[in-house]
Every structure is written in C-alpha cells, then in structure tokens.
Amino acid sequence: MIHAGAHVLVYALAAAASPLVLTATFVVIRSERPRTNGIAFLSGFLFGTTIACGLGLVLGQAAVERIDSHETVEGVLTLLLGVALLVVGLRARHASPRPGAEGSRAGAILAGLAHVRPAAAFSMAGLLGFGGPKRLVLTFLAMASVSEAGLRDVEDLTLVVVYIAVATVLVSVPAGIVIIAGDRAAVILARGQSWLTTHATPLRRWLSLGLGAALVVDALVRLLV
C-alpha cells in the first residue's frame, strides 16, 4: 500500500497544482453570494473529481485484467505527461507577454464568474473537477495505481479518498475559509487573489517544470528498475 500510496500522492499533488482552478475559486467565493457559491463550488468540484476517479477505477481495473504490460503503459503515459509539462515550462520562460486584448478577454471571463448563481458555480466546478486533459490523465494514472496494487476494498477506498482530498485542496481550503469565516475572510482572500494575479505566469512556469521533472523521474524509475 505504501508504494501505491506514494504514486497516488504524486499524481494528486500534480493534479492539485492548478493556478486556473485557484483563480476561479477566488473569483467565485468573492462573488455576491460567497458562502452559498462557496458551498456549491466546492460540492461541484468534489463531485466532478469523484466521477473522474470512478471512471479511472473502471478503466484501471480493465487495464490490469486485459493488458499484460499495463505497468509499462502507465510508465510511458507518466513519462509523456512529464515531458509535456517540461516543454510547457521551458516555453513559458521565453514566452512574450500576452497581448492586452487577450488579457482583457480573460479578465472579462473572470469578471463574469463573480456574478454566477450557485447552480452555475456547481456546474462549472464539476467540469473543473472532472478535469481537462492534464488533470484527467493524472486521475486515471492514480486510479490505475490503485487498481494495480491489488489491495483490499478498504485500502482502495482510503487511497481514493486521499487522492480526492489532496487533488481538491486548492478549492477546499479557500472555500472552507469563506464558509466558516464569511465576510471576515474578505481581506485574506483579496490578498491571496492579488498575489496570484501578480505571480500567475512565473507560478505556472515553475509548477510545470517542477511537476514535469517529478513525473519524468517517477516514470524512469518505473520503467528502468
């Protein structure tokens, strides 16, 4: 279980590290209905992540039963994802600043999120929790590690819960703060959002490089040892 748990934790940390998710969380929980939208956003994000985990377990179990070289396939996918993140991080080092029009469009989208209703917050968070390509692949790899370990149901469930808890931490912590503290959390959240907006580009770059390197090392250890 320790071996599988280490892999699950690595994938969960990589899935959690998303400036986009954190930015969306800040915008939604600083909206006109902070507590209500915070609960809806957190619930939707947990729901989407749980659905992705369930699908990943089904696919992971099928791979274990039908593909003899499933460990190699998992290692190759991890290597490819790590290399892709390294490329993104390296390209970001030399990327020119975004045009003002593009920045204004992103600002307009985020400004629109500040006026969402709870139902819309839940739906949007569900899609973010289910994930784009990177998050979805990481979830599937984590669930494949759980299936591959051949543990008892209780241990499998524990690993899945650990993955969900870690992968959703950038939503659960800010949302939990606003749910508990309400308006008193406004200053803290405003500072956090301001810092994130200012440092979004270097943060994205270093996250891509760090996570990419970790995944490449993990993949090489699997494939070569």
* pLDDT at position 49 over 60: yes
Those residues whose C-beta lies under 8 Å from the C-beta of residue 26, and which sit 6 or more positions away, are 174, 189, 192, 193, 196
138-176 confidence digits (pLDDT tens):
999 899 888 887 778 888 899 999 999 999 999 999 998
Across the range 93-108, mean pLDDT stands at 49
Taking only the tens place, the pLDDT of each residue in 102-125 is 444 445 555 666 678 889 889 989
Nearest to 208 by CA among 115, 158, 134: 134
Decide if 140 contacts 56 (C-beta within 8 A): yes
Task: Give CA–CA dist 109/102, Å, rounded.
Answer: 11
Which sequence spans correspond to the domains of the chain?
2-71+98-132+142-194
Q: What percent of the chain has pLDDT over 90?
A: 21
Q: Which of 17, 127, 15, 5 is nearest to 78 (CA)?
A: 15
Cβ-count burial 86-97 (b if 16+ within 10 Å, e if not): bebbeebeeeee
Highest mean pLDDT of the ranges 6-10, 37-41, 102-106: 37-41
Helices (H) and strands (E) in the chain, counts: 10, 0
CA distance 162 to 83: 26
User: pLDDT digits over 65-91, tens only?
Assistant: 666 566 777 788 888 888 988 888 887
pLDDT at 101: 38
Task: Count other C-beta atoms under 10 Å from residue 27's C-beta.
Answer: 21
pTM > 0.75: yes
